[in-house]
Amino acid sequence: FGLRVDRDPFRDPRVRRAIALTLNRPDIIRRVILGAGTLGNDSPFWSKFPSTDRSIKQRKQNLALARALLQAAGQERPKFTITTWNGIDLPDYAQAIQAAGRQAGMDIDLEVQSNAEYYGGGADYYATTPWINRPATITEYGARGVPNTYLTAAYMSDGIWNAAHYKNAELDSAARSYLAAPDIQGQRNATKKLAGLLLRDTPVITSYFISFVTASSSRVQNY
């Protein structure tokens, strides 16, 4: 769930954190994907990735803090539209966010497009396609064995999937340290730093990681 940090009402990170704090993630997993998933913590670092630092605290619903952050930001009743497409769990997830935000005084509209509309674009694709350019978008990402592609494409300043238009030199540096780390401990040191930055700035809200079923071979180990 990407929030464009260069567009109102998302320029202030307190507003973005407030949106994230309205979400009851265990309840969303239960109702939207019928329990077939694990908690997300607003970063690409799934809890079962070996590189994910185990000490990172899980963000939980806190409506009182959400309201306080909105008040501090001078946006007690922010209004915005979430754009997504009519597939898999996405419309139901958008409705869950809409309902959660209402509890903190947010006025959220939904724009549910077709797959062709959402992923379509003009000659300059990355400047025109809705999934990267609308102010708030929900996009599904395919399963991967490591978070590297998510990190480089969706979070780093020059990422081609950076729907939040988030640019942070400190995060870029930490991401490069993660990618260069020669061992798991080095990776975990970097993911702890990265997760802290993303919880603070919240350019992307990741409420859950959906369970993904695939075939494998017993001869392939440690994936």
pLDDT, one tens digit per residue, over 164-181 is: 999 999 999 999 999 999
User: Are the C-beta atoms of residues 200 and 14 closer than 8 Å to each other?
Assistant: no
What is the average per-residue pLDDT within 78-93?
98
pLDDT, one tens digit per residue, over 146-164 is: 999 999 999 999 999 999 9
CA distance 120 to 140: 15
Asked whether residue 212 carries a pLDDT value surpassing 90, the answer given is no
What is the average per-residue pLDDT within 22-36?
98
Tell me which residue of 192, 215, 127, 111 sits closest to 163, measured CA to CA: 127
Percent of the chain with pLDDT over 90: 94
- What average pLDDT is seen over the chain? 97
Secondary-structure breakdown of the chain: helix, strand, coil percentages, each rounded to the nearest 5: 40, 10, 50
CB atoms within 10 A of CB 38: 13
- Edge to edge, what strands does the sheet with 107-113 contain? 2-3, 136-137, 79-85, 107-113
* Confidence band, pLDDT 50/70/90 cuts, at residue 223: low
pLDDT, one tens digit per residue, over 103-113 is: 999 999 999 99
> What pTM did the predictor assign?
0.95
